[in-house]
Chains A and B, each alone.
Chain A
Amino acid sequence: MIAAARCIVARDLLLALRRRSDVATALLFFVIVASLFPLGVGAEPNLLRAIAPGVIWVAALLSSMLSLGRLFAADHADGTLEQMLLGAAPVGIVAAAKVLAHWLVSGLPLVAIAPLIALQYDLPAPLYGTLVLSLLLGTPVLSLIGAVGAALTLGLRGGGVLLSLLVLPLYVPVLIFGAGSVDMAAAGLSPQGQLQLLAAMLVASAAFAPWAIAAALRISTE
């Protein structure tokens, strides 16, 4: 079972490596979206500093959602998803392995790039830690919840947009606590509460989402 999980993670990482441009475009999207806001609202430094956590979080959320299309669709199209459902490992483990690989490729880089965006917005230095930590805890939750949506909308017309409609309402708590934690820190209060809630959401979704994803995959491949 562990061997199968490790195999899937390695396989997905190898595939992402061979298709570097797909991965890079999603990250580029993150940077572009974040750069659009000052163009839209004006470059007033105080305003930008105030909206920075929210903008970074929304951009991360949208970028994460865009990359969900790559999670199951390709495997579904060439028949390899069926083989994974017929593998020796429980489908929940397969799902968790795929989401882990997906997060490593699409979520973790966001966490790494976020400080650069924060620099663009002149976010005060002490807040960087909270920002990075909130993204580190929050992006896996986004991947896990998003994967449920991706599994449900496998092979449907209206694909990406439908997926967004399904998944964005469920993303709201992560967004609120993620951006909220940085806002709390900016106001001089402790972000511990919000970060702990994010951690709790991570644990809960890591425990339950794989089984929901497995059920959704079975429903979608019948």
Chain B
Amino acid sequence: MLEASDLDCQRGGRALFRNLSFALRGGELLRVAGANGSGKTSLLKILCGLLTPDQGEVRWRGESIRRLREDYARNLVYLGHAPAVKDDLTAAENLSIACTLTGIEAPAQSVHEALARYGLPAGEVPVRKLSQGQRRRAALARLLLSQGVPLWLLDEPFAALDASAARLTEELIASHVAGGGAVAYTTHQEANIRAGVLRVVQLG
């Protein structure tokens, strides 16, 4: 489904990676490994289309993502370092906006259920008042509503999570892959995800 060919990336005058190529098919899990600063986030951003590689191209189902633009974006969920939630809105409002913006149907009931599964208070509390871990969980709750989206690109999904939330996330990723989706994620830690085919891209 997703093909990266000959990717070159330079940041701040340093070459992060050269001639990087790999493919990711449905039912496969891609783990991007590497030390801090080795370009994991940059690689994920290139795969999203947020960053242009200095050379090379990324293809989705055979077509360059440069040309596909929104048609490609509709097929992916990207969760970056920042939780991407507005402090002044409640977790529920944030989640339903995030879903509407990516074209996912999210009736209020499902939004509340998703947040509840991640153990978030159902009250009308602005995100500003939540802890760091709770914010991450509010962002991850989006995964529960994104089963229908083929490609998940997750940057450090397990950061700042407690054991139960981390386990839930692992299960979600595993079931998504089992269901034919593709997930690419970066992590420092060794994650135990029992899923389809595991590929590893080592950077640095």
Contacts and interface: CB of A to CB of B under 8 A. Distances in A.
Asked if the two chains touch in their complex, CB atoms less than 8 Å apart, one says yes
A154 to B, nearest CB: 14
Q: Give the interface residue-count category, chain B.
A: 20 to 34
A18 B76 CA distance: 31
A9 to B, nearest CB: 11
A204 interface: no
A14 B93 contact: yes
Interface stretch (B25-33, B80-88, B113-121): B80-88
Interface in B41-95: 48-52, 69-70, 73-74, 76, 78, 80-89, 93
Contact of A222 (B51, B73, B97): B51
B50 A78 contact: no
B102 A86 contact: yes
Q: Give the interface residue-count category, chain A.
A: 20 to 34
Nearest to A15: B88
Contacts, number: 72
Interface string B93-108: 1000110111100000
A interface secondary structure, majority: helix
B interface secondary structure, majority: loop
A80 interface: yes
Interface in A74-98: 74, 78-80, 82-90
A89 B88 contact: no
A19 B88 contact: yes
A86 B73 contact: yes
A120 interface: no
Interface of B: 48-52, 69-70, 73-74, 76, 78, 80-89, 93, 97-98, 100-103, 126
